[in-house]
Amino acid sequence: MRANLIAGREVSDGVPHPVHNPHHDTLIDEVPTATPAHLEAALAGARAAWSHTRRLPTHARVGVLRRSARLLEQRAEELARQLSQEAGKPIDFARGEVARAVETFTFAASELECLREEVIPLDASPRVHNRWGAVRRFSSGPVSAITPFNFPLNLVAHKVAPAVMAGSPIVIKPAPATPLSALSLGAILLEAGWPAEALSVLHLDVADAAPLVEDDRMAVLSFTGSDAVGWALKARARRKRVLLELGGDAAVVVMDPLSQERVDRLAFGAFAYAGQVCISVQRVLVRQELAESLTQALVEAAGRVRVGPPEQEGVVMSSLIDDRAVAKVQRFIQSGRRLCGGHRQGRLFDPMVFTDVPADSPLGCEEIFGPAVVVQPIRDLDHAIAEVNRSRYGLQAGLFTDSLRDAQTFFERAEVGAVLLNDIPTWRVDHMPYGGVKDSGFGREGLRYVYDEYTERRLLVLPGGAPA
464 located within any domain: no
Please state, in angstroms and rounded to a whole number, the distance separating the CA atoms of residues 247 and 228: 9
Please state, in angstroms and rounded to a whole number, the distance separating the CA atoms of residues 272 and 394: 21
DSSP 13: -
Is residue 413 within 8 Å of 437, Cβ to Cβ? no
Domain with residue 356: its CATH number is 3.40.309.10
pTM score, two decimals?
0.96
Instruction: Catalytic residue, from 245, 367, 445, 453: name it.
Output: 245
465 located within any domain: no
427 located within any domain: no
CA–CA distances in Å: residue 192 to residues 69, 182, 214, 260, 286: 9, 15, 30, 46, 49
What is the number of domains present in the chain? 2
Q: Give the residues across from 150 on adjacent strands.
A: none
Domain that holds residue 365: 251-421
Q: Is 278 a catalytic residue?
A: yes
DSSP 317: B
Please state, in angstroms and rounded to a whole number, the distance separating the CA atoms of residues 362 and 250: 14
Please state, in angstroms and rounded to a whole number, the distance separating the CA atoms of residues 466 and 468: 6
39 located within any domain: yes
Domain with residue 100: its CATH number is 3.40.605.10
Q: Is 366 a catalytic residue?
A: no
Quote the Cα angle for 270-149-45, to 5°.
Answer: 150
Please state, in angstroms and rounded to a whole number, the distance separating the CA atoms of residues 326 and 347: 6
The answer on 84 and 18 residing in a single domain is yes
The answer on 266 and 220 residing in a single domain is no
Is residue 285 within 8 Å of 245, Cβ to Cβ? no
Tens-binned pLDDT, residue by residue, of the chain (468 aa): 999 999 999 999 999 999 999 999 999 999 999 999 999 999 999 999 999 999 999 999 999 999 999 999 999 999 999 999 999 999 999 999 999 999 999 999 999 999 988 999 999 999 998 899 999 999 999 999 999 999 999 999 999 999 999 999 999 999 999 999 999 999 999 999 999 999 999 999 999 999 999 999 999 999 999 999 999 999 999 999 999 999 999 999 999 999 999 999 999 999 999 999 999 999 999 999 999 999 999 999 999 999 999 999 999 999 999 999 999 999 999 888 999 998 999 999 999 999 999 999 999 999 999 999 999 999 999 999 999 999 999 999 999 999 999 999 999 999 999 999 999 999 999 999 999 999 999 999 999 999 999 999 999 999 875 444
Q: Give the residues across from 136 on adjacent strands.
A: 458
Please state, in angstroms and rounded to a whole number, the distance separating the CA atoms of residues 211 and 408: 45
The answer on 413 and 314 residing in a single domain is yes
The answer on 210 and 156 residing in a single domain is yes
Q: Which amino acid is at 323?
A: D
Is residue 174 within 8 Å of 147, Cβ to Cβ? yes
Residue 340, Cβ density class (10 Å: 0-12 exposed, 13-18 middle, ≥19 buried): middle
> Of 358, 356, 326, 357, whose CA–CA distance to 342 is shortest?
326
Instruction: Catalytic residue, from 197, 278, 367, 445: name it.
Output: 278
Per-residue confidence (pLDDT) for residue 466, from 0 to 100: 43
Residue 389, Cβ density class (10 Å: 0-12 exposed, 13-18 middle, ≥19 buried): middle
The answer on 260 and 111 residing in a single domain is no
